[in-house]
Homo-oligomer: A and B are copies of this chain.
Amino acid sequence: MEETDSLFDAPPMGDQERMVEAILFAMADPVTLAELTARLPHGSDPAEALVHLARRYEGRGVNLVKVGDAYVMRTAADLGHLMRRETVETRKLSRAAIETLAIVAYHQPVTRAEIEEIRGVAVSRGTVDQLLELDWIRLGRRRMTPGRPVTFVVTEAFLDHFGLESARDLPGLKELRAAGLLDNRPAPGLAVPDDDEALTGQSELFED
């Protein structure tokens, strides 16, 4: 590094190679020679560094590849199969699903009827199926009440995903409130709509 400090001396080639390596690793796009020159200390020779780097990665799991006039690190072609499982598309759970999941987590073991009572809306078959398929909920013991309804409980995979040691570690209402999660009042038009609608309906019928 001392050499960099002096006016014209570029860092030793070994250091230049490290620098090019780090830049190619961190960049989201292929990097041109001009860009490398701009990033490296004055007097560096990225073209030569690239030659060394290409040789170093020859036959490795990752190779230095030239794309047009830019350079990029790519997985070796023969190892692509290792990554196949990685191309996953991440989607947020629907509101119905997350609410249902929350209710199962907080009230388990809980029956479908109980979930519907707490949510105030019917729980679609698809929602429950999705959570079962994600392996976040599973069937618990049947409730010993008329009809012997099945109950739902959360799974190990659920705890794992949400970084919980046990469902008991979920914060309670008081703690949710303390964390500020309980005082976001339902947006206008969310909890009130039944009310509003009833009135609108009536006035339409009777006031004109």
> Interface on A for B, CB 8 Å cutoff?
17-23, 25-27, 39-40, 59-62, 73, 75-76, 79, 82-83, 85-86, 112, 125-126, 128-129, 138-142, 148-150, 155, 163-166, 168-171, 175, 178-181
CB–CB B164/A18 < 8 A: no
CB–CB B155/A25 < 8 A: no
Which residues of chain B are within 8 angstroms of A22 by Cβ–Cβ distance? Answer: 61-62, 75-76, 79, 82-83
CB–CB B155/A171 < 8 A: no
CB–CB B166/A39 < 8 A: no
Which residues of chain B are within 8 angstroms of A142 by Cβ–Cβ distance? Answer: 168-169
CB–CB B25/A73 < 8 A: yes
Which residues of chain B are within 8 angstroms of A175 by Cβ–Cβ distance? Answer: 149-150
Nearest residue, chain B, Cβ from A128: B179
Q: How far is the CA of A183 from the CA of B60 in the complex (A)?
A: 49
